[in-house]
Amino acid sequence: MNEHNDIPELDPDSLGWDKTAGLLPAIVQDASTLQVLMLGYMDRAALAATLATGRVTFFSRSRQRAWTKGETSGNTLELVAVRADCDADALLVLARPRGPTCHLGSQSCFGAEAPGSTLALLDRVVAGREAERPEGSYTSRLFEAGVQRIAQKVGEEGVETALAAVAGDDAQLLGEAADLAYHLLVLLRARGLGLADVERILAERRH
């Protein structure tokens, strides 16, 4: 067991290095939002460094050497898990980005429309509002009002969602459902919880 984030060991000898001339493509996803962040390549040494340090390391084909993401920019990728695909010749890396992943300054090298969970991205924004309390933010005002007021808003949005389901059209229902989801995320955050906690409960119930 690796000391970093309880990452399970991945046996490098089980991977198909010979299929890919010693370099495996490594797709990186945000562990929280599942947004696709970038594609890099790892050789044995880069994978070993990633597992040993908990910071995602690649092999640069242009520089012909290992490089740890963020070694110059400071925008690191903290390893959560790494898995091989069914053919053992590609890697999926789950990481927590510390700063923009792309060298152009965006969160993902694939742009703002890169696949990911919109709800999880919203949860991250809500968490930021709770911590920073920017002036003029509706979310900040909700946090300032307290759990009781936020819970009241969730109740109101729940009723409006139910009414839209019975008497409204699809657009009304979807709009109210979106409002309900947003206010529920705010309520969870006000109680020190988040979307990941709900997902954990759902995963437990799935079994």
User: Each residue of 94-120: b (16+ CB within 10 Å) or e?
Assistant: bbebeeebeeeeebbbbeeebebbeeb
pLDDT value at residue 114: 86
**Residue-level pLDDT at 6:** 45
- Where residue 9 falls among pLDDT bands split at 50, 70, 90? low
Residue with tokens 């390893």: 79
Condensed to tens digits (0 to 9), the pLDDT of residues 173-204 reads 999 999 999 999 999 999 999 999 999 999 99
Chain segment 48-106, per-residue pLDDT in tens: 999 999 999 999 999 999 999 999 899 999 999 999 999 999 999 999 999 999 989 99
Percentage of the chain exceeding pLDDT 70: 96
Is residue 77 within 8 Å of 99, Cβ to Cβ?
A: no
Q: Given 3-state DSSP classes, what are the helix, strand and coil percentages for the chain, each rounded to the nearest 5? A: 45, 20, 35
> Does the global pTM surpass 0.85?
no
Domains and CATH numbers, the chain: 12-97 (3.10.20.810), 118-206 (1.10.287.1080)
The predicted structure's pLDDT at residue 205: 94
Count of beta carbons in the 10 Å neighbourhood of residue 58: 25
Give the 3-state secondary structure of 33-62. CCCEEEEEEECHHHHHHHHHHCECEEEECC
Model confidence pLDDT, tens digit, residues 133-172: 999 999 999 999 999 999 999 999 999 999 999 999 999 9
Structural contact between residues 32 and 68, judged by C-beta atoms closer than 8 angstroms: no
